Amino acid sequence: MAGRTPFSIRRHMDFSDLSLKRLSLDYRNIDYSHQISIHPYYSEFLTFFEDRDVIGYNDVIVAVHMVYGWMPTMLRLDTREIDSILLLLNDIKDGGSPTLEDLMLLRGMMNNSMVGPSKLLHFIDPQRFAIWDSRIFRYITGKVSQSQIANAVNYFDYLEYINRLVLEPGFLPIHDHVRNKIGATYTKLRTAEIVMFETDKLNGRRII
C-alpha cells in the first residue's frame, strides 16, 4: 500500500520483444476503421470509480461483474478477504502503490488470474495500471501460457516495464496517432494495449 516502493523485484519475463521500435511499426498496420477492442462502455467503467470518493463492498461486487462482463470467462468470486481488499483498493485510488502480495490478494478474489484484477486496477487508475491478458502476453512472448498469464510476478514486472516504455519521447507519436484514429482520449497505457492487442488479432491467431 502507500509508502511502499512498487515494481522493484527481479524481472522474470523477457521483455526484449516489447520495444518502442516494434510498436512504432505495428501501430501503422492496424485498420482502425474496424478496431473493435474498444468496449463501447469503456468510459462508463472509468466514470464508475471516478464518481466514488470511497470504494465500498457493493462497488467492488458491481465492478468485478462489470470487468467479467467484458471477458469470455465465467467469474468465480471469493470475498473472504474483502475487508483487506477494500482497504487495498481505496489506498490505490488515493495514489498508493500495490506490492506483489497485494496483487496476489486481488488475484485470489477473481479466478486466481491476473487478467480480471488488471482490468479492475485499470478502471480505478488508468494512468498507472495496464490491462493484461492472453493477447498482450503473446505479443510479448510469442506464446500463450495460462499459468504465466496468471502469475502475479509477471504482471508486476510488466507494469514496471510498460510504464517506463510509454514515457519515452518516441511513444508520443504512436499515442497521438491512435487517439486521432479512434477519436477518443485514452491514457498512454491504454494506447500501448490497443496496439499490442490489435496486432495479435491481425496475425489471425485465436486464443485457445
Cell, residue 16: 526484449
The strand ranges marked E within 13-106 are none
The candidate with the shortest Cα–Cα distance to 197, out of 102, 185, 182, is: 182
**pLDDT digit string, tens, across residues 7-42:** 444 457 899 999 999 999 999 999 887 755 666 788
pTM: 0.90
Torsion 54-59-64-68 (CA) sign: negative
In order along its 208 residues, the chain shows pLDDT tens digits of 444 444 444 457 899 999 999 999 999 999 887 755 666 788 899 999 999 999 999 999 999 999 998 888 899 999 999 999 999 999 999 999 999 999 999 999 999 999 999 999 999 999 999 999 999 999 999 999 999 999 999 999 999 999 999 999 999 999 999 999 888 888 999 999 999 999 999 887 665 5
